[in-house]
């Protein structure tokens, strides 16, 4: 039957006008995006055809497709696109936004996350009062700027997972100790801290994202700091790329670059060796998007005794953990529609290098890879550690309370 | 200065240029405006001023109305200034009393608002009228042309241009950086679409270069400086030491045979490093000149000072080996220069997902040319590094081309050479051959027919840009691909294929490299290529034994230095820029410097040869004119004001000014001056002046512009 079509050019023109990447009208249909996409083969509409259908004006078909909720924001398609088209941060969120406006609901797990953000200001649905739980028993002072506003060098936005999630809390504590050891004057937002919302924008929840932006605008107003430091690469992306659109411009660093810029001071304090073969997983958000490939390796390389090896896919070709762009809450949907958990494949790659430790630099990755290790039978063979944990170990800043 | 006795009688002509100008500007109103300007006795508008009747109008008016200045408001003076100067001259007026106002490129083509366009057009006309009032009659100056041409680059472009010029009876200096001429074409096996053997059609031309009485061939040399200007360039050429006397050498190759290194040990550049050579070597069998060269970095005597010099013994009484050779410089005067410096093949290493320089069975197309060439490192056997013949071969198109990350342009030749290689690979190995393409571009003569022929030979075509290449053992994610091994010929490779080392020709001459660089004892693992078959609309994974990357053509790494040396420009991609993309394709912004071949942009051999002959014809037309008219806008020194401070001499980029020691004043050589105005601006006493650019003329032009905006 002939498909009744209307021109989709107006949709693509609107997309081009957002200024995200080069114009999607320049697509030459080479298919590099679809074949690069780690889930492209499982999608009803892999990226190339998604764009082609959109150009043909068949948005309705796309909005109903499970494909729409299968992108995990790994950015490989956009990074490689020979015509510079932003699929990840452009086309995909725009289509998801349309879908939700048309009343099409995203997968249930994700809806719960949105509810959590709306009600509690964090993805885990925890009480804001417990925001500082991570610092319980910490042996260095934590300056809560929401209670004692004063000028600081670093405003550290701790993030949802490091604040609340048991496996991530030691990372937050390790970072606090390192900051203090470096003599940095730092503070946190304490119980007032609120998620920055990158994943929500990626997910097309533009309204929710704007709400979070407004909350953070009020929080940050009047505070005096030289820079913001975050543990979560997605939050780095939010402040660096999206917040300026709402008139909020702050110098921001992901902790990896923040620490790499202070490498000599760190090295001078490294007193213990970490005898292990380590491989590093490049996260997508500061990795591919900002080509931050050398700083994490410089940090790991500086640790005495540590032997760094590379996975077959590394740096710009790194395979995503599958947690970005809302992917953290999409595993069931993706697997149900013919996909797989990217973290399972990734940990197998890590194991193939012979490494005992898989080093990561994103809060999502610790739990994703630890789960993957269990599922793939690699538990006990490959340990998952955050770079901060390894640095703290080398600097002898380990958990004293647990010793 | 104009004699104040003679009243100004200016004629202004406003051209419609069809609708180019009149479609946007009110030309009648512009003419009416011109009539109000001081000194204007007549203003007309006309459909095409550059047409014969248009020019006739000017001639008649000059005589009838005794006009003594002309302003034509039309297009850019680059196009028609000579036309109107000629018309004025034909009517008995000095040709330099004509001024153009550019209301097309500067106004009607670029303005978006008609009202503002009219304001700008009026300003241009007023400026021209006020300026031309101060123009003075000037005499035309000529300079003799040296009837000799420098050709830079000895690839097929330079060879063709040099032969054309030499056959026309003019002298050519042909400079080549490498030890031999031949360029990239000499590396190719066959040429598309006719499949002629590249060497068979190229080497006769190379030999002709060597024997031609009108050609002086300087290999292993480069141009280090260019002075002077069109018609009279002085070029300085550095000759690098070969350590072998070209005159004394007879090309017997005994020195190579006799070298203390019994086996070739160093990567042969000509074979893309796939084969080896000795410290004394000849790049390839048919090299011209057939004179070996010694690599001082690896020659034991030249690098360490210690060697038994068996090569010298082998050379014997010919005594051609000269370890004491040093760099020398030669200078030549030439009238024209043809730049034919070619291209560089793109290095695909940065495209990490293609695994070039990671996997030994991923090759560039240029490497494959050497492997299938009988003169290459495997004597024409297309084998994997482990010696096996590949059973499944993939050719990836557009590697480094049509990609904003590398080169946004289409390299024009890759589709066709990929088809040629597909044919040759099949012919040599009987392998199943895949082409991964985005669009097949086969617009040349007999190209489409060749494409069809290759299709009918059973070569497979998959429309899609390959996204990933990995050894099959690493292809974890592939297990999830529904389309691998789907019966479309995607059978897995035969793992039991045993290594069968290919016997290299035992009689390979000493200059022929023997083992392949990527030689490997262990079997090479097949690769899994991941691509979206965009016509099927599904992601496929295809196992291959060998992958060939159809790499882009890019500018030479030193293109920017070469560009400065010859005073020409580059396009954004870095290729040399022609004067006009359609009407002056071999000329450059620098008169007397012409372009030929891929240095101007990627092109195939037929186009390169055609362009080289065009450049030769243009160079011949220039030098055979015997003399050349100089631009009138050159600098001159008012000697009554010159203090002899020499500021101008130091600043002149063309070395056109010297000091007359007797009178202690600066003197401009009109043949060398390019009218850049540097001396005029720098002269502390205002003695340096420029024809057609006096302070008064520029002041009046500015007045004209500013009074009407």
Assign B486 a pLDDT band (cuts: 50, 70, 90): very low
Same domain, A185 and A326: no
Cβ-contact B26, B121 below 8 angstroms? no
Q: Is B355 on the interface with A (CB under 8 A)?
A: no
Cα distance between residue B359 and residue B524, in whole Å: 9
Same domain, A140 and A218: yes
Lowest mean pLDDT among A31-45, B126-140, B663-677: B663-677
Å between A212 CA and nearest CA of chain B? 35
| Domain ranges, residue B462 | 346-554
Q: Is B403 on the interface with A (CB under 8 A)?
A: yes
Same domain, A181 and A254: yes
Residues 6+ apart with CB under 8 A from B575: B555, B559, B598, B599, B600, B601, B602
Interface of A with B (CB under 8 A): 22, 28-32, 34-36, 38, 40-42, 46, 48-49, 80, 82-84, 312, 315-317, 319, 338-340, 345, 348-349, 352
Å between A344 CA and nearest CA of chain B? 10
Report helix, strand and coil shares of chain B as percent, to nearest 5.
Answer: 30, 20, 50
pLDDT exceeds 60 at position A3: no
Domain assignment present for B197: no
pLDDT of residue B527: 96
Same domain, A216 and A278: no
Partners of B352 on chain A (C-beta within 8 Å) are 315-317
Lowest mean pLDDT among A5-19, A275-289, B100-114: A5-19
Closest-CA residue of chain A to B439: A30
Q: Residues B595-650: pLDDT tens digits? A: 999 999 999 999 999 999 999 999 999 999 999 888 888 999 999 999 999 999 99
CB nearest B480 (choices: A49, A340, A349) = A340
**Percent of chain B residues past pLDDT 90, beyond the cut:** 86
Element (H, E) at A186: strand A186-187
Domain assignment present for A265: no
Domain assignment present for B182: no
Of B86, B26, B19, B95, the closest CA to residue B50 belongs to: B86
pLDDT of residue B4: 59
Element (H, E) at B395: strand B392-399
Residues 6+ apart with CB under 8 A from B116: none
Please return the burial class of B636, using the count of CB atoms within 10 Å of its CB with bins 0-12, 13-18 and 19+.
Answer: middle
- In chain B, DSSP finds a helix count (H) and a strand count (E) of 17, 34
- Token pair of A278, please? 């380590």
Q: Residues A314-332: pLDDT tens digits? A: 999 999 999 988 889 999 9
**Is B534 in contact with A31 (Cβ distance < 8 A)?**
yes
pLDDT exceeds 80 at position B243: yes
Q: Which of B353, B438, B467 to mutate to test the interface with A (most CBs of A within 10 A)?
A: B467
- Token pair of A17, please? 């006008």
Q: Is B477 on the interface with A (CB under 8 A)?
A: yes
CA B596 to chain centre: 6
Residues 6+ apart with CB under 8 A from B168: B616, B620
Of the residues B92, B109, B138, the one at which a domain ends: B138
Question: DSSP per residue over A137-178, as a string?
Answer: T-SS---BTTTS---EEEEEE--HHHHH-TTTHHHHHHHHHH
Q: What is the pLDDT averaged over residues A61-79?
A: 94
Prediction pTM value? 0.86
Same domain, B486 and B392: yes
Cα distance between residue B107 and residue B92, in whole Å: 32
Same domain, A121 and A223: yes
Q: Residues B502-552: pLDDT tens digits? A: 333 333 333 333 344 456 667 899 999 999 999 999 999 999 999 999 999
**Is A35 in contact with B474 (Cβ distance < 8 A)?**
no
**Is A80 in contact with B530 (Cβ distance < 8 A)?**
no
Q: Which of A31, A33, A50, A352 to mutate to test the interface with B (most CBs of B within 10 A)?
A: A31
CB atoms within 10 A of CB B257: 16
Partners of A349 on chain B (C-beta within 8 Å) are 474, 476
Cα distance between residue A40 and residue A236, in whole Å: 27
Of the residues A195, A229, A260, the one at which a domain ends: A260
Taking CA A386 as the corner, what is the angle to CA A383 and CA A389, rounded to the nearest 5 degrees? 100
**Is A31 in contact with B465 (Cβ distance < 8 A)?**
yes
Assign B481 a pLDDT band (cuts: 50, 70, 90): very low
pLDDT exceeds 70 at position B285: yes
State how far the alpha carbon of A354 is from the alpha carbons of A308, A363, B240, in Å. 11, 24, 51
Domain assignment present for A401: no
Cα distance between residue B629 and residue B623, in whole Å: 12
CB nearest B353 (choices: A28, A317, A338) = A317
Residues 6+ apart with CB under 8 A from A273: A303, A304, A305, A306, A394
Same domain, A206 and A223: yes
pLDDT of residue A400: 63
Q: Residues B142-183: pLDDT tens digits? A: 889 999 999 999 999 999 999 999 999 999 999 999 999 999
Assign A7 a pLDDT band (cuts: 50, 70, 90): low
Cβ-contact A234, A263 below 8 angstroms? no
Domain assignment present for A50: yes
Cβ-contact B627, B605 below 8 angstroms? no
Q: Residues B378-424: pLDDT tens digits? A: 999 999 999 999 999 999 999 999 999 999 999 999 999 999 999 99
Same domain, B371 and B295: no
Partners of B464 on chain A (C-beta within 8 Å) are 30-32, 35
Cα distance between residue B203 and residue B285, in whole Å: 10
Q: How many CB pairs under 8 A join A and B?
A: 86
- Token pair of B291, please? 């004179």
pLDDT of residue B671: 79
**Is A352 in contact with B474 (Cβ distance < 8 A)?**
yes
Same domain, B37 and B102: yes
Cα distance between residue B309 and residue B526, in whole Å: 46
Cβ-contact A193, A142 below 8 angstroms? no
CATH number, domain with residue A375: 3.40.50
Cα distance between residue B109 and residue B185, in whole Å: 43
Same domain, B304 and B385: no
Same domain, A123 and A69: no
Closest-CA residue of chain A to B399: A82
Assign B480 a pLDDT band (cuts: 50, 70, 90): very low
**Is B404 in contact with A36 (Cβ distance < 8 A)?**
no
Same domain, B259 and B404: no
Q: Residues A158-190: pLDDT tens digits? A: 999 999 999 999 999 999 999 999 999 999 999
What sign does the CA torsion over A21, A24, A28, A31 have?
positive
Same domain, B378 and B483: yes
Domains in chain A: how many in total?
3
**Is B468 in contact with A36 (Cβ distance < 8 A)?**
yes
Q: Is B465 on the interface with A (CB under 8 A)?
A: yes
Of B78, B63, B150, the closest CA to residue B566 belongs to: B150
Q: Residues A335-360: pLDDT tens digits? A: 999 899 999 999 999 999 999 999 99
Closest-CA residue of chain A to B400: A82
CATH number, domain with residue B451: 3.50.50.60
Cα distance between residue A11 and residue A56, in whole Å: 10
Domain assignment present for B72: yes
pLDDT exceeds 80 at position B666: yes
State how far the alpha carbon of A347 is from the alpha carbons of A279, A280, A371, in Å. 10, 11, 10
**Pairing mode, strands B40-46 and B546-551:** unpaired
Cβ-contact B73, B42 below 8 angstroms? no
Q: Could you tell me the maximum CA-CA distance found in chain B, to the nearest angstrom?
A: 103
ipTM score of the complex?
A: 0.90
pLDDT exceeds 60 at position A72: yes
Cα distance between residue B274 and residue B381, in whole Å: 13
Q: What is the pLDDT averaged over residues A128-157?
A: 94
pLDDT exceeds 50 at position A4: no
Domain assignment present for A49: yes
CATH number, domain with residue B664: 3.30.70.20
Closest-CA residue of chain B to A85: B404
**Is B538 in contact with A312 (Cβ distance < 8 A)?**
no
Partners of A42 on chain B (C-beta within 8 Å) are 480, 482
Same domain, A138 and A255: yes
What does R_g of chain A's alpha carbons equal in angstroms?
Answer: 21
Same domain, A203 and A325: no
Domains in chain B: how many in total?
4
Cβ-contact B97, B135 below 8 angstroms? yes
Q: What is the pLDDT averaged over residues B338-349?
A: 98
Of the residues A230, A260, A290, the one at which a domain ends: A260
DSSP B166: H
- Token pair of B276, please? 């080896």
Of the residues A101, A130, A153, the one at which a domain ends: A101
Same domain, A93 and A125: no
pLDDT of residue B674: 83
Cα distance between residue A349 and residue A369, in whole Å: 12
| Domain ranges, residue A280 | 270-394
pLDDT of residue B228: 84
Domain assignment present for A18: yes
Assign A260 a pLDDT band (cuts: 50, 70, 90): very high
Element (H, E) at B565: helix B559-566
Same domain, B491 and B531: yes
Cβ-contact B464, B534 below 8 angstroms? yes
């Amino acid at each position: 039957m002939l498909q009744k079509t209307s021109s989709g050019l107006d949709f693509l023109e609107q997309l081009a006008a957002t200024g995200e990447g080069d114009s999607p009208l320049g697509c030459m249909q080479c298919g590099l995006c679809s074949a690069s996409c780690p889930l492209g083969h499982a999608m009803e509409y892999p990226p190339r055809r998604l764009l082609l259908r959109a150009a043909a004006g068949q948005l309705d078909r796309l909005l109903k497709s499970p494909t729409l909720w299968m992108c995990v924001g790994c950015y490989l398609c956009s990074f490689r696109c020979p015509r510079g088209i932003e699929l990840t941060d452009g086309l995909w969120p725009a289509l998801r936004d349309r879908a939700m406006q048309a009343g099409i609901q995203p997968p249930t797990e994700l809806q719960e996350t949105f509810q959590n953000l709306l009600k509690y200001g964090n993805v885990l649905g925890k009480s804001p009062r417990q925001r500082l739980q991570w610092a319980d028993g910490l042996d260095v002072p934590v300056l809560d700027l929401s209670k004692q506003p004063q000028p600081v060098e670093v405003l550290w936005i701790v993030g949802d997972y490091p604040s609340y999630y048991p496996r991530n809390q030691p990372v937050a504590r390790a970072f606090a100790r390192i900051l203090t050891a470096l003599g940095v004057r730092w503070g946190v937002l304490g119980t007032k801290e609120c998620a920055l919302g990158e994943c929500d924008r990626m997910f097309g929840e533009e309204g929710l994202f704007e709400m979070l932006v407004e909350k953070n605008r009020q929080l940050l107003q009047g505070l005096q700091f030289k820079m913001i430091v975050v543990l979560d690469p997605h939050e780095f992306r939010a402040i660096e790329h999206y917040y300026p659109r709402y008139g909020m411009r702050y110098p921001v660093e992901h902790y990896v670059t923040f620490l790499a810029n202070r490498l000599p001071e760190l090295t001078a304090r490294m007193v213990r060796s970490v005898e292990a073969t380590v491989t590093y997983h490049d996260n997508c958000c500061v990795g591919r998007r900002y080509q931050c490939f050398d700083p994490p390796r410089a940090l790991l390389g500086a640790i005495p005794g540590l032997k760094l090896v590379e996975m077959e896919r590394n740096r710009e070709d790194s395979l995503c953990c599958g947690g970005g762009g809302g992917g953290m809450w999409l595993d069931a949907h993706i697997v149900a529609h013919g996909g797989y958990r990217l973290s399972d494949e990734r940990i197998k790659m890590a194991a193939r290098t012979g490494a005992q430790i898989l080093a990561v630099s994103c809060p999502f990755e610790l739990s994703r890879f630890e789960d993957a290790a269990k599922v793939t039978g690699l538990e006990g063979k490959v340990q998952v550690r955050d770079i901060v944990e390894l640095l703290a170990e080398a600097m002898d800043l380990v958990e004293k309370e647990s010793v | 200065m104009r004699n104040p006795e003679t009243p100004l009688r200016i004629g202004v002509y406003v051209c419609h240029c069809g609708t180019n100008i009149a479609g946007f500007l009110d030309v009648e109103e512009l003419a009416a405006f011109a009539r109000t300007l001081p000194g204007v006795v007549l203003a007309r508008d006309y459909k095409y001023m550059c047409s014969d009747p248009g020019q006739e109008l000017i001639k008649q008016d000059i005589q009838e109305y005794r006009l003594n200045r002309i302003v034509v408001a039309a297009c850019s003076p680059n196009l028609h200034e000579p036309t109107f100067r000629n018309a004025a001259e034909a009517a008995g007026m000095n040709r330099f009393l004509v001024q153009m106002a550019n209301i097309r490129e500067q106004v009607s083509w670029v303005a978006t608002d008609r009202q503002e366009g009219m304001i700008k057009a009026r300003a241009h006309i007023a400026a021209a009228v006020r300026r031309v009032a101060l123009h003075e009659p000037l005499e035309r100056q000529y300079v003799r042309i040296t009837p000799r041409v420098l050709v830079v680059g000895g690839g097929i472009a330079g060879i063709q241009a040099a032969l054309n010029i030499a056959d026309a009876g003019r002298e050519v200096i042909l400079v080549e950086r490498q030890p031999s001429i031949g360029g990239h074409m000499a590396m190719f096996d066959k040429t598309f679409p006719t499949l002629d053997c590249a060497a068979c059609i190229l080497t006769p031309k190379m030999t002709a270069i060597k024997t031609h009485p009108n050609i002086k061939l300087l290999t292993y040399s480069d141009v280090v400086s260019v002075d002077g200007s069109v018609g009279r360039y002085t070029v300085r050429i550095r000759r690098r030491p070969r350590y072998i006397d070209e005159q004394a050498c007879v090309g017997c190759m005994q020195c190579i045979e006799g070298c203390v290194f019994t086996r070739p040990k160093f990567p042969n550049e000509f074979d893309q490093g796939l084969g080896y050579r000795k410290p004394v070597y000849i790049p390839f069998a048919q090299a011209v000149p057939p004179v070996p060269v010694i690599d001082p970095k690896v020659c034991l005597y030249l690098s360490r000072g210690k060697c038994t010099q068996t090569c010298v013994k082998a050379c014997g009484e010919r005594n051609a080996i000269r370890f004491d050779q040093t760099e020398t410089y030669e200078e030549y005067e030439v009238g024209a220069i043809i730049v034919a410096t070619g291209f560089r093949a793109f290095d695909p290493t940065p495209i990490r997902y293609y695994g070039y320089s990671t996997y030994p069975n991923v090759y560039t197309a240029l490497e494959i040319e050497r492997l299938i060439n009988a003169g290459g490192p495997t004597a024409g056997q297309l084998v994997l590094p482990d010696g096996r013949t590949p059973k499944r071969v993939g050719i990836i198109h557009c590697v480094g081309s049509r990609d904003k990350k590398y080169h946004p342009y289409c390299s024009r030749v890759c589709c066709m050479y990929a088809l040629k290689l597909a044919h040759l690979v099949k012919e040599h190995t009987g392998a199943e051959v895949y082409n991964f393409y985005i669009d097949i571009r086969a617009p040349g003569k007999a190209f489409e027919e060749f494409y069809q022929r290759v299709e009918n030979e059973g070569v497979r075509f998959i429309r899609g840009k390959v996204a990933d290449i990995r050894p099959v053992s690493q292809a974890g994610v592939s297990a999830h691909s529904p389309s691998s091994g789907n019966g479309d010929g995607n059978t897995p490779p035969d793992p039991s294929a045993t290594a069968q080392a290919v016997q290299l020709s035992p009689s390979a001459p000493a200059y022929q490299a023997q083992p392949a660089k990527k030689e490997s004892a262990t079997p090479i693992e097949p690769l899994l290529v991941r691509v979206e078959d965009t016509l099927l609309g599904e992601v496929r994974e295809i196992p291959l034994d060998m992958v060939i990357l159809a790499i882009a053509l890019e500018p030479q790494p030193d293109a920017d230095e070469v560009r400065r040396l010859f005073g020409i420009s580059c396009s954004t991609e870095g290729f040399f820029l022609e004067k006009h993309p359609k009407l002056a394709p071999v000329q450059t912004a620098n008169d007397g410097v012409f372009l030929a071949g891929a240095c101007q942009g990627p092109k195939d051999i037929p186009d390169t040869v055609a362009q080289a002959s065009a450049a030769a014809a243009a160079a011949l037309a220039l030098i055979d004119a015997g003399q050349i008219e100089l631009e009138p806008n050159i600098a001159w020194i008012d000697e009554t004001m010159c203090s002899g401070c020499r500021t101008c001499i130091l600043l002149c980029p063309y070395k056109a000014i010297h000091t007359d020691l007797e009178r202690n004043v600066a003197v401009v050589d009109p043949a060398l001056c390019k009218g850049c105005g540097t001396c005029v601006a720098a002269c502390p006493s205002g003695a340096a002046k420029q024809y057609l650019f006096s302070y008064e003329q520029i002041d009046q032009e500015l007045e004209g512009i500013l009074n009407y905006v």
